[in-house]
Structure 1
Amino acid sequence: MQSPHSTDGTIINGLSVDVEDWFQVGAFENVIDRGDWDGLALRVEDNVLRILDLFDAAEVKATFFTLGWIAKRNPAIIRRIVDRGHELASHGYDHGRVFAFDRKQFAGDIKLARMILEDAGGVQVTGYRAPSFSIDKRTPWAYMELAEQGYAYSSSVAPVVHDHYGWREAPRFAFKPLPWSDLVEIPVTTAILGGRRVAAGGGGFFRVLPYAFSRWAIRQVNRQDCRPAVFYFHPWEIDPEQPRVGNAPIKSKLRHYTNLDKMAEKLRELVHEFEWGRMDILAHREAARAVELAA
């Protein structure tokens, strides 16, 4: 069996970046119109360059789940990601949530995004992450479409309860959603606290909560569950100088802007403390593990 461990027995966790700009987030989807995006300041390129430098300093590789919309307008940064040895994967075209599509619309979205990403990066795209972890029990056709389009893995499920997303009944760790396909789903990390699942895979939870919480959660997953963690964040989260959306709801502002000035340093600590790798490598190992468990 292909183990999630390195040759010395250390578990290799999955490190990922959801590449979208400050105005494309779910928190602002009801106050910033998609039709206005092209008139807003693009900050994603500079932020991705900072992240690439941070990863280089820690000697880690990651997966960049990137919007086709971003790749179409910033092909140079896509080439930088690939040239530095990271995986290029799909985050859909323009951050549309999967449960807002029907199957035909979803098929068109992931096909368009993949075409743009592969053209910009010059590499095959085999991984997908749904915007806002929006694959759930409402979208049984999503995995069928991903498999039919040749994707090897998805990391599109948050197996928790959340007001923006969540599939509480989903497994906590990698699973095969289709009996006839090798496609593997790798959910974002959760930990068990007081007998309940809690989100512990990055994003706003990592930025807002003390670093000690993430350290505890990843250690729980690695040591008690003996499984790799899956961590994600966004380029805008290391950008405290980004424009403010004045007409956004207070709750959205708190989620989006809290601790932006502390995020980069927390990331440096995280990437140096644990072992990290690309999601495609993790997916390959998890698929092999699933085959052995089924044998």
Structure 2
Amino acid sequence: MMSSVINALSVDIEDWFQVGAFESTLDRADWPSFEHRVERNTDAVLAMFDDAGAKGTFFTLAWVAERYPALIRRIVAAGHELASHGYDHQRVFTLSAEAFRADLRKSRRLLEDAGGVAVTGYRAPSFSIDQQTPWAHAVLAEEGYAYSSSVAPVRHDHYGWAGSPRFGWRPVDGSGLLELPVTTARLAGRTLAAGGGGFFRMLPYEFSRWAVRQVNAEGHPAVLYFHPWEIDPGQPRVPNAPLRSKVRHYANLSAMEGKLRRLLRDFRWGRVDALVEGMTA
């Protein structure tokens, strides 16, 4: 039987060349010259959500919104939440507090201009709010964001804030800002990454289904994410990227759409802002 818990499925809107795995291989200055596939892939994601009758949150790079405003309007028209993923995928711990504030303001302006709706949610590129950025949540609160979904409470070589709360928490005293981490599961005393992305793509579907059921049984909604490029097995290859980056980025691309359709069918899904509103009511 399907759980009555409404979970949050989110989409990090970025193109295949904008990912953390290739940030040391591909120069941002070259981005305009690469083949852009984000619009067609996001439209495919929108169709998938529509087929399932599900709503979600689209954490979108303002770099994309600046170039494809009609895509942003389609996201909003379909009833999904438009939220910020920053401007051009710079990790928060590479920025100063003031540079982060400037990025937040620029991104929100571009997203709101394109979508015609208020943007109140934020997700840091590569979940880069962690112990290195003790000021980041305060800046988000000062800028009027209602929530952040920027922490992965795991230990990982690419990102993570091990030991941080697994479920929604308030990182700034006296502020209404809620941090809603991506989902983790517990097994044999260990916290396991189970929030989507490469873990969802590469591990058996049964693991993700078990993890969502576990957190739902504990009375919490799951927060999962994926990227439009993950359903695009025909995307260009980056031949000079490190082997580990290639494995992380390209493994199981052809299986991803089918797994997502199962996920959409097996659980109930809604927007992150609706989930946050329910938690703060």
The TM-score range, normalised by the shorter chain, is over 0.9
Mapped pair 1:74 → 2:68: yes
Give the aligned partner of residue 240 of structure 1: 233
Aligned partner of 2:243 in structure 1 is 250
Q: Which residue of 2 aligns with 1:122?
A: 116
Which residue of structure 2 lines up, in the alignment, with residue 231 of structure 1? 224
The residue that corresponds to 1:207 in the other structure is: 201
1:97 matched to 2:88: no
Q: Distance in 2 between matches of 1:287 and 1:24?
A: 34
Equivalent-residue separation in structure 2 for 1:253 and 1:90 (angstroms): 27
The one-letter amino acid paired with 1:101 is L
Per the TM alignment, residue 9 of structure 1 is displaced from its structure 2 partner at its CA by 7.6
* RMSD value, Cα: 1.0
Instruction: Output the CA distance in 2 between the equivalents of 1:213 and 1:125.
Output: 33
Q: 2:273 corresponds to which residue? A: 280
Are the aligned partners of 2:3 and 2:267 in contact in 1 as well (CA < 8 Å)? Answer: no
8 A Cα contact 1:184 1:286, kept in partner: no
Which consecutive residues of structure 2, in runs of 5 or more, have no partner in the other structure?
none
> Which has the larger displacement, 232-241 or 279-288?
279-288
1:183 and 2:189 are equivalent in the alignment: no
Q: Which moved more, 1:136-145 or 1:50-59?
A: 136-145
Q: 2:126 aligns with which of 121, 124, 132?
A: 132
| Cα separation, 1, equivalents of 2:188 and 2:197 | 22
Match of 1:164 in 2: 158
Structure 2 distance, partners of 1:9, 1:251, is 37
Given that 1:189 and 1:229 are in contact with CA atoms closer than 8 Å, whether structure 2 keeps it comes out as: yes
The CA deviation at 1:86 is 0.2
**CA offsets, 1:23-51, max 9 Å, x none?**
00000000000000010011000000000
Partner residue in 1 for 2:21: 27
AA paired with 2:114? A
TM-score by length of 1: 0.94
In 2, the alpha carbon distance for the partners of 1:9 and 1:180 equals 34
Which letter does structure 2 place at the counterpart of 1:273?
D
Q: Deviations over 1:212-263 (max 9, x none)?
A: 000011001101x210000000000000000000000111000000110010
Aligned to 2:82: 88
- Paired residue type of 1:32: L
Q: Distance in 2 between matches of 1:136 and 1:16?
A: 20
**Residues 253-272 of structure 1: pairs in structure 2 closer than 5 A:** 253-272=246-265
Given the alignment, which residue of 102, 107, 113 partners 1:108? 102
CA contact (8 A) 2:3 2:268 kept: no
Runs of 5+ consecutive residues of structure 1 not aligned to the other structure: 1-7, 289-295
CA–CA separation in structure 1 for the residues paired with 2:96 and 2:159 = 17
Percent identical: 64
Matched, 1:46 2:40: yes
Q: Which amino acid aligns with 1:62?
A: G
Q: Distance in 2 between matches of 1:216 and 1:252?
A: 27
113 and 62 in structure 1: CA distance in 2 versus 1, 3 angstrom threshold: same
Show the counterpart of 1:219: 213
State whether residues 13 and 61 of structure 2, in contact with CA within 8 Å, keep that contact through their aligned partners in structure 1.
yes
Query: What is the number of equivalent residue pairs in this alignment?
Result: 280
State the 1:286 CA deviation. Answer: 2.2
Once residues 71 and 90 of structure 2 are traced to their aligned partners in structure 1, the CA distance between those partners, rounded to angstroms, is 22
